[in-house]
Structure 1
């Protein structure tokens, strides 16, 4: 995922709204994501459209770790979010197995799917 010059740079993320109406966030390489980082990125993502819902593509390939609190926060349960779906890019079949297990335990409030391929993830988001 190429990061455009207009992307917002946060401690653990580069985040932007695509011209296609799909928000994108790319985790920085070796990021250790805390609850504070999760909140910071979510505030930014929700600021893209105040009165309109949109999908979010998350490139998590390269993340070092994410705290339990941040994972729970990202499920969007019990909080306001402008996102209608999360497509999460991962980097291996093993990550997909682990990720699907996590999604089974921590059910997100919006449709969420894991992908190894960015084009497939974008197609899924466009077809919602």
Structure 2
């Protein structure tokens, strides 16, 4: 489904609301390189060349392979001012924190278990 500010693909739903771009991954999705590239392509289409703060809800992600993680950390950071990653459990929180330390995203990236805190982080920038 695609509207001017909403896209849905096999992996995620993406939309822009109040100057924040939301990426909500679907339940039990496995993200491979092709899926990561599709999400980034759709995100860039929505952005129309404008940089955004990104709220990325990863609670539905079952797994993401290394190629997808590496792609999202580097090429996937184009036109993103900062990203808040929302996860739903301590294991995902720890894995995401490890990912940030090892992948070294080129933009400010923080991990949260509370959506209000994640949005507050983005709005503070």
Larger fraction in strand? 2
Q: Detail structure 1 runs of 4+ shifted over 4 Å in the superposition.
A: none
Larger fraction in helix? 2
Q: Kindly tell me the number of residue pairs found equivalent between the two proteins.
A: 121
Q: Hey, what does 2:9 align to over in structure 1?
A: 10
RMSD: 1.6
What's the CA shift for 1:80? 6.7
Indicate if the aligned counterparts of 1:76 and 1:110 stay in contact, CA closer than 8 A: no
| TM-score, normalization by structure 1 | 0.87
* Structure 2 SS opposite 1:48: helix
Indicate if the aligned counterparts of 1:28 and 1:63 stay in contact, CA closer than 8 A: yes
| TM-score, normalization by structure 2 | 0.89
Indicate if the aligned counterparts of 1:60 and 1:88 stay in contact, CA closer than 8 A: yes
What's the CA shift for 1:125? 0.5
* Structure 2 SS opposite 1:64: strand
